[in-house]
Amino acid sequence: MATQTRRTYDTEFKAAALARLSQESAAAIAADLGVHMSVIYHWKKQAGMASPASGRRRKSKRPNERQQAALLDAAKGHAISAVAKHHGVSRNTLSKWIARFGLPTAPANANGAALVPLANGSSPTLVSNGARALSPVAAVLEAKALLHGILQQLDSVASAIAAFQQVFGGPPQPASSSHGAA
């Protein structure tokens, strides 16, 4: 069995090959020199030349165009699975985008609230200025909390009427519209 000899290259040869990287791809240089492409990358690493994509990539703080389009569709109330399918991503990916960037809201009205229409034709969701659009479940929970607060206020009004009746012996009478009753 024949033994293979390991080829060695001097630093000048490696430097000349690496200098070509600005005009040619590593694959083209490797093919021309008769070495594997990984050898070119190894020489590049030895020379301390960083690759543009080397190291850990940082996540952007702002969504790109594709993410923006998907987030807008999700904010309109479309189902997450339908939005994900339409934009060619998984539901998990879309959910991560929503968690990272939040859902955009419609422009605020004069009261500082925005109406985000729902895709299923139901009434729009009211979103406070600076808040993000609510999912249908969150909207129901918020509406339930709002209704609970209104009911507590009505209980307070009913208590006030009951106290009035105890003190004055009857329900409060509405004010008459005429000033001089006959």
Provide the pLDDT for residue 56.
Answer: 62
- Among 40-54, 92-106, 109-123, the minimum mean pLDDT is found in 109-123
- Among 21-25, 79-83, 114-118, 176-180, the minimum mean pLDDT is found in 114-118
Instruction: Provide the number of structural domains found in the chain.
Output: 3
The reply to whether 72 and 32 lie within a common domain is no
The reply to whether 40 and 77 lie within a common domain is no
User: How does pLDDT run across 168-177, given as a tens digit for each residue?
Assistant: 776 666 666 5
Distance (Å, whole) CA 83 – CA 13: 53
Mean pLDDT calculated for residue range 94-101: 83
The reply to whether 99 and 69 lie within a common domain is yes
Q: Does the residue 16 lie in any domain?
A: yes
Provide the pLDDT for residue 52.
Answer: 57
Contacts from 47-50 at CB under 8 Å and sequence distance 24+? 47/14, 47/15, 47/18, 49/18, 49/21
How many C-beta atoms surround the C-beta of residue 124 within 10 A? 15
Q: Residue 163's domain spans which residues?
A: 135-169
Distance (Å, whole) CA 168 – CA 52: 84
pTM comes to 0.32
